[in-house]
A and B are shown apart, each in its own frame.
Chain A
Amino acid sequence: MENYHHKMAAHCESGTVTALLNHGGLEITEPLVFGISGGIFFGYFHKTKAFSFPTFIMRNKPGQIRNNIENRLGVKFRTYEFRDPVKGQIQLDDLLIRKIPTGVQVDFFYMDYVPSWERVHINVHYLVVVGKDGNHYAISDSYFPAMVELDASSLEKGRFAGGNMSPKGFIFHLDRVPADIDYQAAIVKGIKKACFYMLRLPMPFLGIRGIRLFAKKVVEWPSFARDTEHLSHEIMKINILLEDQGTGGAGFRYIYATFLQQAAAIVQKPELKELSEELMKIGDGWREISLFSARIGKNRDLGPDKLKLLSEMIYDRAEAEERFFKNLSVAIK
């Protein structure tokens, strides 16, 4: 597709949505897409059937970025789901013949162009398919500096993987962009929702409460581990979840700070710019947690004193984020 411009992005879903909107003629940045959709979040999962070890998330539910952008900007994406892989491939190929770049949900594990150490089973990776040549698809994956190729069988395996949040062949493409978009209203709504999810959800594992639960429970992680190396691996994954898994750094806090800076100019509220600076500093604290986790994991220095220190650092982030989101909800009223 000659007029499609590949661009890296911090996060796969916000990057894919941004790419499709930009291709459709709407100039919007990834941080605005992320912030308007209320992407910032926190959830801690101590025991679940889907994960073999306690884990956490720092963004809203997969799929919500696209849904919320539709609702708040008035753009329209056309979506498709399939049971039959053959029908799924025919529909995708048809869109490509019509030169429509198409967002695709896949299991990251089957994306052969990814270095092996990065490849994990996660069913909510998003990318854009922009063409097909013989048995290979041209892929624009926002995690890669350049376009890549993927053979049809690997894409099919990724699109039709089973398990938690299985993609079911899900694809989507931009259908319509309205002539006028009320960015101010969209930004205000996105921020209000983010504040609500961080401050007011009653579940103890979500939002600020979730950060506190993470701080409380991380000292119990050794009881889940097979051995010291397993514990080291899981503690070092804190760094990966905060920095490497498409967060833009510090568990999406830096990209949200960027959103607030851009939003301040659009809604003409200088308080948002000040809050963006505060969030950047909060993000620096999350980054300290990342580096600390990597260091103690590598050194196998995982005794109770170090995990307590890690817990205190996380508690500290909960305090800082609670203050921040309370101030943000006042500023946006």
Chain B
Amino acid sequence: MKEKEGYVDYPEQQMILYVEKDDGKYGPMQTGSFISANYLDDYKLKRRNLEIGLREQLTANSISPLKYFMVLEDLTLSELSARAGIRKSRVRKQLTPQKFGSVTTNELQRYAAVFNIGVANLLQVVLVGINGNYESNLILENSAGHISVIHEPTANPFVVLTKIEERK
């Protein structure tokens, strides 16, 4: 690939491509990510739709919170089990709402650590109202209009401080 063909203007995600320079030598060039520059909106749309679908199942008590996060984070049962250090058969049961009640506080902590969220956030979905619609803060990534929602961990592993404030 020639150097001029490799250039993508996308400072948010830079990368190194190896290309043919003008003098015929191959070497590195710093450029932007083609797929993020052109298709990031499509990725975000799909992730939003996935979250909405999972949330409907979650609130209808068809899946457990564990399944909601596992699918959202694209983990397999085996991988979640290995990462949490919990037997696979037990994780499999806890993916269903009927058996999720058997989860211990220690297990909740392990699951929350895998998903990199507070324990409290395993058991709630924070929605932010925008233009008459409620959107998951997890998907919005705290980028909703004039409202800022931050989940702040505390020294107490079971408690997060959820701070909602107007953006200035």
Interface on A for B, CB 8 Å cutoff? 8-10, 30-31, 49-52, 109-110, 115-118, 120-121, 142-145, 157, 161-164, 166, 229-230, 232-233, 236, 239-240, 243-244, 246, 248-250, 254-255, 257-258, 261, 276, 280, 283-284, 287, 290-291, 294, 297-298
Query: CA A283 – CA B116 in complex, angstroms?
Result: 37
Residues of A within 8 A of B36 (CB): 117-118, 244
Closest-by-CB residue of A relative to B45 is: A229
A232 to chain B, nearest CB (A): 7
A298→B17 contact, CB < 8 A: no
* CB-CB contacts below 8 Å: B51-91 with A: 73-76, 78-79, 82-85
Residues of B within 8 A of A118 (CB): 13, 36
A121→B75 contact, CB < 8 A: yes
Taking A52-B75, A236-B35, A294-B35 as contacts, is the C-beta distance between A162 and B83 under 8 angstroms?
yes
Which of B22-30, B100-108, B157-165 lies at the interface with chain A? B22-30
B26→A280 contact, CB < 8 A: yes
Say which residue of B27, B28, B76 sits within 8 Å of A51 (CB atoms).
B76
Can you list 17 A-B contacts (CB < 8 A)?
A9-B16, A50-B78, A117-B44, A121-B73, A121-B74, A161-B83, A164-B78, A230-B46, A240-B35, A244-B15, A249-B6, A250-B1, A254-B1, A254-B17, A254-B26, A258-B18, A280-B26
Query: CA A50 – CA B77 in complex, angstroms?
Result: 8
Taking A8-B16, A249-B19, A258-B26 as contacts, is the C-beta distance between A50 and B76 under 8 angstroms?
yes
Closest-by-CB residue of A relative to B41 is: A298
Query: CA A30 – CA B26 in complex, angstroms?
Result: 12
Tally of chain B residues near chain A (CB < 8 A):
43
B18→A249 contact, CB < 8 A: yes
Check: B20 CB closer than 8 A to any chain A CB: yes
Query: CA A250 – CA B96 in complex, angstroms?
Result: 41
A284→B28 contact, CB < 8 A: no
For the complex of A and B, 10 pairs with smallest distance between CB atoms: A49-B78, A254-B18, A258-B26, A163-B83, A162-B83, A249-B17, A10-B16, A163-B82, A248-B18, A258-B18
Closest-by-CB residue of B relative to A299 is: B42
Residues of A within 8 A of B13 (CB): 115, 118, 244
Residues of A within 8 A of B27 (CB): 258
A105 to chain B, nearest CB (A): 15
Say which residue of A115, A145, A163, A276 sits within 8 Å of B30 (CB atoms).
A145
B79→A164 contact, CB < 8 A: yes
Closest-by-CB residue of A relative to B29 is: A249
Residues of A within 8 A of B49 (CB): 229
Check: B7 CB closer than 8 A to any chain A CB: no
Interface of A is mostly: helix
B35→A121 contact, CB < 8 A: no
Closest-by-CB residue of A relative to B50 is: A229
A80 to chain B, nearest CB (A): 22
Check: B94 CB closer than 8 A to any chain A CB: no
Check: B12 CB closer than 8 A to any chain A CB: yes
Residues of A within 8 A of B12 (CB): 115
Check: B40 CB closer than 8 A to any chain A CB: yes
Closest-by-CB residue of A relative to B14 is: A145
Query: CA A37 – CA B50 in complex, angstroms?
Result: 40
Residues of A within 8 A of B74 (CB): 52, 120-121
A232→B46 contact, CB < 8 A: yes
Query: CA A230 – CA B72 in complex, angstroms?
Result: 11
Residues of B within 8 A of A229 (CB): 46, 49-50
Say which residue of B6, B14, B15, B84 sits within 8 Å of A162 (CB atoms).
B84
Given contacts A117-B44, A164-B78, A248-B16, 15 further A-B contacts (CB under 8 A): A8-B30, A115-B12, A121-B83, A142-B16, A144-B14, A163-B83, A229-B50, A236-B43, A239-B35, A244-B33, A246-B15, A249-B19, A257-B18, A258-B18, A290-B34
